[in-house]
Amino acid sequence: MRLLVVGAGSTGGYFGGRLAKAGRNVTFLVRRSRAENLRKNGLRVISPHGDFSIAPKLVLAEELDSAFDAVLLTVKAFSLAAALDDVAPAIGPGTMIIPVLNGMRHMDVLAERFGKKAVLGGVCKIPATLDGKGRVVQLGNFHDLIYGELDGSQSPRIQALDAFMQGAGFDARLSEAITREMWEKWIMLASLGAITCLMRGNIGQIEAAPGGLDFVQGLLDEVVAIVSAVGEPPSEPVLANAKAMLTAKGSSLTASMYRDLQQGAAIEADQILGDLVARGQKAGLSTPLLSAAYTNLGVYQQQVR
């Protein structure tokens, strides 16, 4: 199987790098500036599970001239539109597209452009970032990549993809309920992002502040209400785990969106919060806390632009 990883940042660089290190046929589609860094220094990963460096196989958009068996789409959600044109030559009649973007809007965009049959469901869970030297730095121990057919079927192609992903140094899992897992991830992303960005602090600091626990519970309730109305309700264990993580005493947990905000970088507020607010409004739900967080980040985005 030939895999094209779109992007070699913290997500694509980590999972694609692990796969390439394990001997899988992996090519990275990257911008010219990133290609120059990778050709000079290699793809370097700093991880609690072991540091490594590889000489990655790279391709620029203008060099793509054939279809791949699978495409792992790891770009930021706000970069999706530009990425679609770049990756189009790699999409053939039998290509599987595995998106691990945040939110759910990208699923409709991909299906409209390449056809619903080409698109699989995908979820990744990894705390990672690029440092000033262009290295992928894993910030925690977990590194999960989850994928599956949207209808939950065990098709030959998804089984082949699963075999390709297994044993590469991260936790790969084939899911029969990938759509629900995507909605569940959105609950955690939106809640954690809204809570830490609006309050400008980590979970431990917010929990310890006056009214902090009530705020966290109220915002989580809003997010869960939207997802339950327009998507798939979360399982009880997932909901209990989310509440525990978002209210843990002394926790240093923050959202990647908050870390991007602190660095003055572009953020995925529209895709993670805005789209959720819009779906809630369409369903007739009142979401004052989530809406306040989205408005707050809208002001930030104007300043960044």
Q: Catalytic positions, please? A: 185
List, as one string, the DSSP characters of 160-181.
HHHHHHTTSSSEEEE-S-HHHH
Q: In 3D, which of 67, 180, 173 has the Cα closest to residue 118?
A: 67
In angstroms, the CA 105 to CA 116 distance is 14
* Torsion sign, CA atoms 242, 19, 267, 140: positive
The phi, psi pair for 221, rounded to 5°, reads -60, -40
**C-alpha R_g of the chain:** 19
> Within its chain, how far is the Cα of 303 from the centroid?
24
Return all residues near 254 (Cβ < 8 A) that are at least 6 apart: 192, 196, 201, 202, 203
Per the listing, tokens 């589609």 go with 29
Kindly state the tokens that stand for 161: 């993809």
Distance (Å) of CA 305 to CA 30, 255, 258: 24, 21, 17
